[in-house]
Amino acid sequence: MSNTPPPADDLVAPFSLDGAPVRGRIVRIGAAGLDPILRRHDYPRPAAMLLGEALTLAALIGSLLKVDGRLVVQAQGNGLVPLLVAEHSAGGLRGYARLAEGAAEKLVGANRVPPKDLLADGNLVLTLDQGENKHPYQGVVELNGDTLAACAENYFRISEQTDTGIRLAVGEVTEGDGPMRWRAGGVLMQRIAADRARGDTAEDWVRASMLFSTVRDEELVDPDLATDRLLYRLFHEEGARMDAPAALEDRCTCNAERLTHVMRQFPPQELRDLVEADGLLHARCQFCSRVYKIEPETVGA
Residue 213 and residue 115 share a domain: yes
User: What average pLDDT score do residues 195-199 get?
Assistant: 66
Q: Is 40 exposed, middle or buried (0-12, 13-18, 19+ CB in 10 A)?
A: middle
Residue 128 and residue 225 share a domain: yes
User: What average pLDDT score do residues 37-56 get?
Assistant: 95
Q: Confirm whether 5 is domain-assigned.
A: no
Residue 227's Cβ-side half-sphere holds a number of Cα atoms within 13 Å equal to: 27
Domain that holds residue 191: 11-250
Q: What is the CATH number of the domain that holds 186?
A: 3.55.30.10
d(CA 194, CA 202): 8
Buried b (16+ CB within 10 A) or exposed e, 84-110: bbbbbbebbbbbbbebbeebeeebeee
Residue 292 and residue 218 share a domain: no
Return the higher-pLDDT residue of 143 and 16. Answer: 16
Tally of domains in the chain: 2
For the segment 59-91, what is each residue's pLDDT rounded down to a tens digit?
A: 999 999 877 889 999 998 889 999 999 999 999
Residue 147 and residue 269 share a domain: no
Using alpha carbons, select from 119, 116, 71 the residue that is nearest to residue 91. 71
Q: Confirm whether 76 is domain-assigned.
A: yes
Residue 84 and residue 48 share a domain: yes
In this structure, which amino acid lies at residue 61?
I
Q: Confirm whether 238 is domain-assigned.
A: yes
Residue 207 and residue 67 share a domain: yes
Q: Reply yes or no on whether the pLDDT at 2 is more than 60.
A: no
Name residue 283's beta-bridge partners.
292
What does the pLDDT read at residue 272? 85
Q: Confirm whether 201 is domain-assigned.
A: yes
Specify the 3-state DSSP secondary structure of 228.
Answer: helix
Residue 243 and residue 283 share a domain: no
How confident is residue 1, by pLDDT bands cut at 50, 70 and 90? very low
Residue 273 and residue 216 share a domain: no
For the segment 124-137, what is each residue's pLDDT rounded down to a tens digit?
A: 999 998 877 788 88
For the segment 215-244, what is each residue's pLDDT rounded down to a tens digit?
A: 999 999 999 999 999 999 999 989 999 999
